[in-house]
């Protein structure tokens, strides 16, 4: 039986020389790889009490929706600014190459709801830090954050200090 890391394609020198890009499209393209990824991420939640799964576009949708469905929880999408049709709350954050703004519907999280955030990758942690702030601004409590992969050398966990963070795979 293959391990989840066997499904991840490593591409050297992309997007620039010296970087190894960890490609999850090979996980998604294989029915067994996709099933294994979702099962392993969901396993990280087995003893967690939560009400809502939140996921950022687009890969947070890919992994978050099946987990929400399997666990009979609601799913809340976080999108780039201007993509949601109703009243939103927004958070801007810095990227290596500039800044970005994300939004969620203002009525998506109710005060007191326990929230799990699901995404494919943690690198610097900026996007997830912004999502945590959005959830908390609506009165929600982030009880766990789960990633398929973590790039430990970029120290994204530091930005999420005080939060319970778990990753299925870790790369230095």
* Structural contact between residues 80 and 102, judged by C-beta atoms closer than 8 angstroms: yes
Per the annotation, the verdict on 129 as an active-site residue is no
- Give the C-alpha separation, 78 to 56, whole Å: 4
Which of 5, 59, 79, 90 is flagged as catalytic?
Answer: 59
Q: Which of 14, 1, 41, 15 is nearest to 169 (CA)?
A: 41
How many C-beta neighbours within 10 Å does residue 82 have? 9
* Structural contact between residues 35 and 4, judged by C-beta atoms closer than 8 angstroms: no
Which of 57, 90, 96, 157 is flagged as catalytic?
Answer: 96
Q: Is the dihedral of CA 118, 123, 129, 130 positive or negative?
A: negative
Per the annotation, the verdict on 103 as an active-site residue is no
Annotated catalytic residues are 59, 96
């Amino acid at each position: 039986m293959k391990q989840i890391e066997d499904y991840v394609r490593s591409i050297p020198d992309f997007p620039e020389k010296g970087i190894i890009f960890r490609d999850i499209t090979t996980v998604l393209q294989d029915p067994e790889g996709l099933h294994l990824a979702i099962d392993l991420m969901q396993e990280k939640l087995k003893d967690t009490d939560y009400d809502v799964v939140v996921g950022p576009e687009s890969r947070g949708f890919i992994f978050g929706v099946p987990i929400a469905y399997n666990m009979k929880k609601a799913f809340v999408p976080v999108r780039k600014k201007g993509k949601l049709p109703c009243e939103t709350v927004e958070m801007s954050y810095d990227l290596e190459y500039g800044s970005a703004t994300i939004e969620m519907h203002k009525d998506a999280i109710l005060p007191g709801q326990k929230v799990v955030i699901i995404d494919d990758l943690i690198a610097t942690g900026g996007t997830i830090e912004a999502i945590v702030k959005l959830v908390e601004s609506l009165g929600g409590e982030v009880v766990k954050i789960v990633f398929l992969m973590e790039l430990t050398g970029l120290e994204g966990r530091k930005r999420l200090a005080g939060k319970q963070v778990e990753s299925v795979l870790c790369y230095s």
